[in-house]
Every structure is written in C-alpha cells, then in structure tokens.
Amino acid sequence: MREAAARALAFDLAGALKDAGLVAGIVVLLTIALVGFRTQDASGGAALSYRFEDVFAVAALAFLGRLAVALLRAHRPRPVLGASVLFALALTALLLHGAETRLLPFASAPFNWTIAIAAWTLSARAAWLLWHSASELSAEARDALMDRIGARVQRSAGFLGPLLLVAAVTLPFLPWADRRLLDIATLVLTYILLGWGLNIVVGLAGLLDLGYVAFYAVGAYSYALLALYFDLGFWTCLPLAGILAAFAGILLGFPVLRLRGDYLAIVTLGFGEIIRIILLNWYEFTRGPDGLSGIPRPTFFGLPITRTPPEDGHSFHSFFGLEYSPIDRVIFLYYLALALALITNFVTLRIRKLPVGRAWEALREDEIACRSLGVHPRNTKLTAFALGAMFGGFGGSFFATRQGFVSPESFTFLESAIILAIVVLGGMGSQIGVVLAAILLIGLPEVFRELNQYRMLAFGMAMVAIMVWRPRGLLAHRDPTVRLSDHGPPR
Amino acid sequence: MNPLLSVEHLTMRFGGLVAVDDVSFDAPARRITAIIGPNGAGKTTLFNCLTGFYSPSAGRMTLRHPARGEFLLERMEAYAIPAKAGVARTFQNIRLFPGMSLLENLLVAQHNVLMRASGYTVGALLGMGRYAQAERRAVDRARYWLERVRLVDRADANAGNLPYGDQRRLEIVRAMCAEPVLLCLDEPAAGLNPRESAELNELLAFIRDEHRVTLLLIEHDMSVVMSISDHVVVLDYGRKISEGTPAAVRSDAAVIRAYLGEEDEAAPGRP
Amino acid sequence: MGYFLQQLINGLTLGMIYGLIAIGYTMVYGIIGMINFAHGEIFMIGAFIAFITFVVLGLVGIGWVPLALLIVLLATMLLTSVYGWALERVAYRPLRHSPRLAALITAIGMSIFLQNYVQLLQGARVKPLQPVITGGMRFLEGGEFAVTFSFLQMLIIFVTLGLMAGFTLIIHRTALGRAQRACQQDLGMASLVGIDVDRTIALTFVLGATLASVAGLMFLLNYGVIDFYIGFLAGIKAFTAAVLGGIGSVPGAMLGGLLIGLIEAFWSAYFSVEYKDVAVFAILILVLIFRPTGLLGRPDVEKV
C-alpha cells in the first residue's frame, strides 16, 4: 500500500482539466455540425432537426474519459474506479430496464450499450491498476504479452482446429440447428473461404489487394454463364470458374505486381471497380443491373436435391431411400461450403511448406533480399495472386449457385474491404485467425440483426483500433514451417 | 588464369551525379579481392551494379563461371544473377527475413533448386515424391553451414532475435547456401569486435580454400583487409585510384592522399 | 465547336475540384509517404458541413448570397480542418513507425468509419440543395450549340486559383512551408535540426483538409446534390490526379487535377458516360505502370 502511494506520481489537476477541456472542445467542433444537426430524409428537403444534447453528452463523456485516462496514468485508480462503476451500473440498469428516463440522450441503443461497455472496461482497468499497482505496459511489453497469447492460441490451434472442425461437421445435426442458423453458418463459411483465399495474397505474400471482389465476381459470373448457356453441372462449372478466375488474377497481376505496397492497393482497387462497372454496363453479356437469374442449384453428383425426382431418374432422396425434408437442401449447401473451405485450407497449409510458400513469406519480409537470393519476385507474386484468385472464384461460384442469381451490386468495394478486415483482424497469415474473425465479423451481426446498421461502422472502428493497438493483427504469431528436428541427424 | 570477374569501364550516373566513374578491375578466381575507399567513394553502388540492383550507365561486367560459361552481368536482372551466374551477396544493413527462422532463411536461398524438385509446386501438391528428398538435402546443407558458424542450436529461432554479430554471420552463410562461385560481401566486419573480426577472417578463408569460392569484399576494417585479402582495389570519388596487393596499395601515395588528405599548400586569397 | 468549348469549361471546373483534393493527397504522401485513404471522406464531410450550414442559414433567414457563401466557406473550412487534424492524431500518428501495411489498413478503416458515421447521422439518401448561384454568360448563341459559362463555374475557377496561389505562397515563403519541405526531404534530419515534426505533419493534414473542404463546397454548389458516397469516387479520381501529376509535387497535383477533369468531361461527352470512371481508373493504372513518377515528379531511386 505504501508502495502504491509512493508510486503515485505527482498529479497536475489543473493541467489535466485543461487537457480534458481541450479534448472536449475538439469533440464539440467535430460533432456540432454533423451530430448537432440532422437533415432528416423528409420530403420537404430542407427539414432540419437539432440534437445538441447529443453533442453536449459526447463532449462531456470525452472530457470525463480523458480525465480518467490522465488519472489512471498518474496511478490514481480509486476515483476512476468509483465514478466509472457508478456510471456503468446506472447506465446498464437503465438500459436493461428500458426506462423512460435515460442517462444519455442518444437515440441508438447499440451506441448506448457501447458507452456502457466502455465504462465497464474503464472500471476493470482501474480495478486492475488498484490491485496490481503495476505500471502501464510499454509497447514492447504489450507486444511480447500478446505474442505469448498469440503463441498459446496458435499452439492450441493444434486442438482448437480439430475441435472447430468437429463442431462444423456435426452442426446440422445439433438439436438447435434450424434453417436460420444453417444459413448464417453457410454465410460465415463463404467468408472463411474468401478470407483464406485473400490470406494467401495479403497474409502470406504481403501483397495488399483491395480489389479481391473482382475475382469473386469473375467466379460468380463465369459460373452463372457456364451453367446457364452451356448447361454444365456444378462439378464441371466450379473448376472452370476457378480457372477463369485464376486467369483473371494472372492478367490483372502481371502488369501491376511490381508496384510498391500503397500503389498496388490503389491499383487493385481500381481493377475491382472497373470489373464492377463493366458488369453493370455490358448488358449484352451480363444483363447489367438486372443480373443473371435462374442459375441451377448444385446436385449431389447428378442427383438433384428436390422433393420429387425428375422424370428420367432419381433424386437424391429417392436414390438413397430417404425421406425428403426442405431443410435438406440447406444442409447440402452447408456441407458444400464446408468442403470448399477445407480444400482451400488443405492446399494452403501444404503450400506453406513448399518452396513457393516460403518464397511468398520471404517476399513479404524483404523483397530485395529475395532478389539477391535468386527468387523471381514477379512470378512468385503471380502464383500467390492467381491461387488467391482461384479460391475467390470458388467462393463466387458457390455464391452464384446458392443464391441462384447474381448482379453487380453484390460485388462492391465494400465486400473487398470486409474480406480484408477479416484477414487483417485475424492476424495476417493465420488460418485460425481468419475463422475467428469471420465468426466475429459476419456471424455476430447476423445473429443480432439489430446491429446490422452499425456493422460497417464497427468494422471501420475495429480495423483502426486493432491496427493502432496491435499492428500485426490479433493472432500474428508465426511458427516456422520446417524445423531442423524434423529431419533428424545428418546423413 | 582468367580472372573470375572482369569489370570494364563501369560507369553509373544518377542524374548529374557520377557515382562510379569508368572503373575497371579484375577479381582473380578463388581469391579474396577487397574494395576499399573513403565513404561515398561508390563502393556499394558498384556492388549494386554487379548484382543487378542498378542498371549501369555504361560498361561491362563479365563473370566467367567455371561450369556454366560467361555471363554479362550488366544485362541480367537481379534475381537471375544468383540463379544463373552464381553470384550471391550480403548487404551493408543486413537483410535477413526477421520473422522467419534461421533454417527457413537458409532454405529460401536454395529456392530454385527446391522449386525444380517440387515440380514447380504442382508436382509436390499432387503427391509426387521427389520433393522430400530434395528438402532433406537442402536442410543438410543448411545444417552444415549453421554448424560452421555455431548457430545450429538456434536453427528454429527467429532470425530477427539474433544478436548483431550472429545476424552478420547468418547472412553470409545464407548467401553460401545459394551455392555461388562469387560471393560479394558489403562490409561484413562492420560493428564486429576484434574477436568476431578474427572469426570472420577464418570463415572467409575457409570459404575461399575449402569451397573454392571467389570473394569480393567491401570493407573499412583494415585489419580484415590487410590480413586476408589477396587483391585490393581502391576507389575514391567513384574512380579507381589504385589496384594491387595489399602491401603495394598500402604504400601507394594516391591512396594515402585519399584517406588522409593533402598537406595544405600555400592558400592564397581564401575567401 | 460550341460543344467542345462547353466540355472544356465543364472539364476545367471539375478539374479545379479534383485538383484541390489532390493537393491534400500529394502533400501527405510527400511528407509521410502514405496514401491518406480517408481523404476522400474528408472531402465528403466538407460537402455535408457546407450543406448543413446552408440549410441552417436558410432557416435562420440569411438570404444574401455573398454573405451566406462567406459564412458557409468559413464554417466549412474551420470545422472540416478539425476532422483532418483528428484523423492524423487518432489513426496515423500512432502508426508512424509501423509497417506501411498497418497504416494503410487503418486508413481504410477510417474511411469506412467516416462514411458510415455520416450515413448513420444524416441518413442514406441524397441531399439536394436549392441552387444558390444562378445565371451565367452565354456564347455562340447562333451556332449549333450555345456555350454557357455560368457564374458558379467562374466562381469555382476564381476561388480555386486564388487558393492555389495562396497555398503556393505558404509553401514557399513561410516557415511552415519550409518546415514542410524539410520534412518531405528527410523526416529524421528535420527533427534533429529542431523542426517540430509532429506539428508540421498535423498542419499538413489540416491544410489538406481545408482545401478538400472547399472542394466539397464547390461540389455541392456545382452538382446541387450530395450523398455519403461521393468521397469514395472523388477520392480515387483525385488520387489519380495526384499520381498523374507526380506524387509529392503540389503543382503536379493541380495539373493532374485539371487533366483528369478534362479527360472525364471529354470522355463522357464524346465516348460514353457509363464508362467515364473506367477511363479514369485506366489512366491511373497506366500511369503507375509506365510512368510512376508522373508528369512533374522526381524519379525515386530505391536505396539498396
């Protein structure tokens, strides 16, 4: 206790107040126009509503928050703990009660909840500080700690991976697995597939691709056109669409892969947009904004999953002597997505141990050193790009066949950004990380439908927060792909 | 005996600045040639031209590979030079792959051999067997070099965590894993203490004698240069001012002037 | 002939707007070597703040156009510049020494965040504004196509040229400008000789945001309608302009902006309006592949 008191640094109250006041002032300037005034979507056009109470509340919260941080830095957790716990309790109680009187004027419930969570987090931090009297972790110590956590997670991936796999395989047969859950799970699997594909490009090879949606689109439209005009089955169209997407990857990659990071990002963004605009306007080929519909559903090696078998053959159920249930098609799609994802994972894990995979990672670390060792940068990058594109194409094909319909509005830059967010937040290069990130970023908002509006806002904020806090991603620990001990004593 | 490397009239201009000015010299085969000179003399620029990172403004660099014939380095891309001509290098500021292990670093150096053995990936993915053998051989080669520099117990550690001296040694043996006939080292002794410098000398002599590799060094550390090099080239302001044995170069008046400066003659009318 | 002149005028006006935004990109890239991906959103926020100020002025009853314009201009510049400052402080400064990938991801995150922030607060639909400045001069009325040079277009060109002149003055005559050029050359050295690097960078962002906000106001006046997505497209085009002119060069940004504006106007007039954006993107890709230093940029030799 005496130690804690001795460690408490001299606290400059006046300075802290002035600093907090400055922050509050800046917040007022930031929010006065856009938060204080709301231009309602009214028919009159110039309707305006005022919400100055929001501005005031945000500024007040900023003031208090900044003051709290200053107090914590000076090792005075007690006042912070007391105030924040009180505030958090009051806010949470009122929110849960759905009361008429509200502590904060904000209209949006998720925002209020976010404030509540922030208050609880602050309390926890203050409590930690009080109990441990530990100084704030320096950046290196934080990194080292996260690295150890990341290492432990990565090691537990040894059993976490199989566990998730078992869960995924048995999901449709669990008692609470209804259609909605399966739909969400299939959506998450699609994004996992896409995330793993982009992971090869961004995570392993370090090529910042902001136009990944282009390959997704090429896969989807190729599949649709092949299935509609050439009447080919799923199992023929899928690899063809993948190859076409890979080809697109090579075409797009060839001229641009030697560009530096930032420039490559913008150029790939441009490509993504170009593809979308072409899809939107080339009516003769792609039906433009109307899109292509009537895409046939996948079959189980030729056996359709329908209630009644076709005239000249069996359906899946008639062949196996099973009773048809409408959910069976959903289950089939789910397993299809799972199979595609697992293939992607298998190929990726295998390639990481091969020279080309190692070359990808080496290129990411230091391209100049790679050139000095005889690694051909452009060809190596092209393989990453093409392989990632192929998996994107698979994702697109699956999307096309699942929806039965494709249109350009599914392939905006936003999709690229979402997939990138999944890869980045998961810790670039980490397969498990992508799974967790997809579950978090796609699954969660689907389950809590009310959050859908705020999903992108949260994405953006999460991307910024995680990059600032931990620039290498959440689970960016890396184990070497080959160990000396694997190969025994020398011959 | 033909020199392994012949540089003829090499010139490198950056806009108005002439970094390397009509430099010609030979690097005798299986000998250690040192390139020395004051800072800014153009030594690293010369290296960058040799290894394909800069495209020289003029001149020719001929490499006579004992098994593969002659190569004109000024026409080759940086990644082709180690692969075809057998020239490997290290960097002034050490360029390891910090997030990868020591073993992985050394395996990347054997990339092309391993790529061929893996059937350019497709073969290995489809399960065809020759890759495992090739990888084993590559690991053995890596192990051999790691043992030479006593880093083998840390083979699976991250290269970025190595202390400075170890990183320098690792970079050298990584270059050796690329099986070069010419090894270019940019200030390999920078930042090493006397004991480490002596060990470096041993390593370089070992490479020259046991592996019959020709070495080209940029160095400032005169103890290394004088004790180990067979041949010395001196640059100053981009020009070659002397070439010969260490003893000859050390007593060359032009070299002394370049390093120590001139006696101030009568300086009339200084502004 | 008339048609051609009209496109010329339209293109120049558009180019002024792009040029103002492009300067922000090029300044930031020159000083900290990163693409401020969220800069387009700053432009969008400027447009929104201008819009809101106009509506407020309308409701309060200030109708005299020059006064209203002045108030809107000042309010927009002031309030948007704070966003520029906050963006740098919150998202970029902590990552100044991190790998470039991290900074780019953060920038994208901020861009997404700001877009949705505005969308949630102000609604997703487009915001129309009653025309503020009307009228103009007409030429070639007898010919096949009468050319209109509106007062608004004149104002845009005039104000932009004035701002660019003032800005060039700042860069070349003031201490801030010198500090900025020093930081652009060598950040480490600049701090060693006593330049407050943090402040210089922050001011760079603020200046860029101010110019972008004026562009936002111009955009609002010119098109009469805005939505939360305009930043994305304008941002990419302005970035293309910066690259075309030579990234890091302010005169290059102005030149690039003009060229992109003209190209866009002429392409949509003479070829196809649907693919005008494709034309601009294609230029970006071609420039980066074949002449990455742009028209007025300096070649960048990588130190090995």
Identify the pLDDT of residue C293.
84
Choose from A35-44, A429-438, C226-235 the range with maximum mean pLDDT.
C226-235
Chain A: residue whose CA lies nearest to C109? A460
Could you tell me the domains of chain C?
2-290 (1.10.3470)
Interface contact flag, A365 B98, Cβ < 8 Å: yes
Average pLDDT, chain A: 83
CB burial of B7-46 (b: ≥16 within 10 Å; e: otherwise) equals beebbbeeeeebbbbebebbbebbbbbbbbbeeebbbbbb
- The closest CB to that of C281, out of A38, A270, A457, belongs to A270
Identify the pLDDT of residue A342.
93
Looking at the DSSP bridge assignments, the partners of residue B87 are B182
Average the pLDDT over A256-281 and give the result: 88
Biggest CA–CA distance in chain C, Å, is: 66
C-alpha dist (Å) from residue A214 to A128, A162, A205, A245, B23: 47, 32, 19, 9, 50
Identify the pLDDT of residue A491.
47
User: What percentage of chain B exceeds 90 in pLDDT?
Assistant: 65
A1 pLDDT more than 60: no
Looking at CA atoms only, how far is residue B196 from chain C in angstroms? 25
Residues C121-131: pLDDT tens digits?
888 888 888 88
Interface contact flag, C301 B14, Cβ < 8 Å: yes
Q: Around Cβ C145, how many Cβ atoms within 10 Å?
A: 13
CB contacts under 8 A, C 265-304 vs B, are 299, 301, 304
Torsion, Cα C180 C182 C186 C192, to 10 degrees, reads -110
Cα C185–C191–C194 angle (5° rounding)? 120
- Return d(Cα B184, Cα B188) in angstroms, integer: 10
Identify the pLDDT of residue A46.
56
A401 pLDDT more than 80: yes
Identify the pLDDT of residue A266.
87
Contacts of B119 by beta carbon, 8 Å cutoff, 6+ apart: B126, B128, B130, B131
User: What percentage of chain A exceeds 70 in pLDDT?
Assistant: 88
- Return d(Cα A255, Cα A273) in angstroms, integer: 17
Contact (CB, 8 A) for A40 and C128:
no
Interface contact flag, C304 B48, Cβ < 8 Å: yes
CATH number for the region B5-96+163-260 comes to 3.40.50.300
Contacts of C249 by beta carbon, 8 Å cutoff, 6+ apart: C26, C30, C294, C296, C297, C298
Interface contact flag, C304 B14, Cβ < 8 Å: no
- Return d(Cα A227, Cα A229) in angstroms, integer: 6
- Return d(Cα C161, Cα C163) in angstroms, integer: 5
Interface contact A277, partner C, CB < 8 A = yes
Interface contact A263, partner C, CB < 8 A = yes
A273: which chain C residues are within 8 Å (Cβ-Cβ)? 236, 277-278, 281
A140: which chain B residues are within 8 Å (Cβ-Cβ)? none
Identify the pLDDT of residue A387.
95
Identify the pLDDT of residue B270.
46
Least confident of A10-24, A102-116, A316-330, C170-184: A316-330
CB contacts under 8 A, B 189-248 vs A, are none
Q: A322 or B254: which carries more pLDDT confidence?
A: B254
Interface contact flag, B53 C304, Cβ < 8 Å: yes
* Secondary structure element (H or E) that encloses residue A395, with its range: helix A377-403
Chain B: residue whose CA lies nearest to C299? B15
Looking at CA atoms only, how far is residue B46 from chain C in angstroms? 12
Average the pLDDT over C91-109 and give the result: 85
Q: A102 or C174: which carries more pLDDT confidence?
A: C174
Residues B146-190: pLDDT tens digits?
999 999 999 999 999 999 999 999 999 999 999 999 999 999 998
Cα B33–B37–B42 angle (5° rounding)? 95
Interface contact flag, A484 B103, Cβ < 8 Å: yes
Identify the pLDDT of residue A14.
84
Q: Around Cβ C75, how many Cβ atoms within 10 Å?
A: 21
Q: Around Cβ A178, how many Cβ atoms within 10 Å?
A: 11
C-alpha dist (Å) from residue B138 to A5, A143, A355, B206, C66: 60, 34, 11, 21, 77
Q: Tell me the domain boundaries of chain B.
A: 5-96+163-260, 98-161
H-helix segments, A175-260: 179-198, 213-229, 234-256
Identify the pLDDT of residue A99.
64
- The pTM (predicted TM-score) of the whole model is 0.86
A263 pLDDT more than 80: yes
Interface contact C71, partner A, CB < 8 A = no
CB contacts under 8 A, C 214-253 vs A, are 232, 236, 239, 243
Q: Around Cβ B145, how many Cβ atoms within 10 Å?
A: 22
A445: which chain C residues are within 8 Å (Cβ-Cβ)? none
| E-only strand ranges, chain C | 127-128, 136-139, 147-150, 225-226
Interface contact flag, A38 C48, Cβ < 8 Å: no
Residues A195-215: pLDDT tens digits?
999 999 998 998 989 999 999
Interface contact flag, A37 C128, Cβ < 8 Å: no
- Could you tell me which chains touch chain A, where touching means 3 or more CB pairs under 8 A? B, C
Identify the pLDDT of residue A98.
73
Strands B87-89 and B182-186: parallel
Chain C: residue whose CA lies nearest to B90? C304
Best mutation target among B49, B89, B94, B95 (most A Cβ atoms within 10 Å) is B95
Could you report how far apart the first and last alpha carbons of chain C are, in Å? 54
Looking at the DSSP bridge assignments, the partners of residue A49 are A38
Q: A74 or C75: which carries more pLDDT confidence?
A: C75
Cα A310–A314–A315 angle (5° rounding)? 75
Strand order in the sheet with B239-244: B87-89, B182-186, B214-218, B32-36, B231-236, B239-244
* Radius of gyration from C-alpha coordinates of chain B: 20
Identify the pLDDT of residue B267.
44
Identify the pLDDT of residue C32.
85
Identify the pLDDT of residue A327.
80
Residues A137-160: pLDDT tens digits?
555 666 677 677 767 766 776 777
C301 pLDDT more than 60: no
B33 pLDDT more than 80: yes
Contact (CB, 8 A) for B151 and B102:
yes
Chain B: residue whose CA lies nearest to A377? B79
Interface contact flag, C45 A424, Cβ < 8 Å: no
Could you tell me the two tokens for B140? 């053995």
Identify the pLDDT of residue C276.
86
C-alpha dist (Å) from residue A334 to A434, A456, C178, C221, C231: 18, 25, 62, 51, 38
Average the pLDDT over A280-290 and give the result: 84
Please tell me the total number of residues recorded for chain A in this structure: 491
> How many helices, marked H, and strands, marked E, lie in chain A?
20, 4
Question: In this complex, how many residue pairs, one in chain A and one in chain B, have their CB atoms less than 8 Å apart?
Answer: 125
Q: Which of B8, B23, B1 has the alpha carbon at shortest distance from B73? A: B8
B249 pLDDT more than 80: yes
Q: Tell me the domain boundaries of chain A.
A: 2-135, 154-478
Residues C206-238: pLDDT tens digits?
999 999 999 999 999 999 889 888 999 899 999
Could you tell me the two tokens for B268? 């009339």
Contact (CB, 8 A) for A101 and A94:
yes
Residues A69-112: pLDDT tens digits?
888 887 778 888 888 888 888 888 888 887 666 777 877 777 88
Best mutation target among A348, A367, A484, A486 (most B Cβ atoms within 10 Å) is A484
Could you tell me the two tokens for A247? 């080809």
A40 pLDDT more than 80: no
Categorize the per-residue pLDDT at A490 as very low, low, confident or very high, splitting at 50, 70 and 90: low
Strands B182-186 and B17-27: unpaired
Biggest CA–CA distance in chain B, Å, is: 82
Average pLDDT, chain C: 87
Interface contact C101, partner B, CB < 8 A = no
3-state secondary structure A451-465: HHHHHHHHHHHHHHH
Average the pLDDT over B54-70 and give the result: 93
A134 pLDDT more than 60: no
Looking at CA atoms only, how far is residue C285 from chain A in angstroms? 6
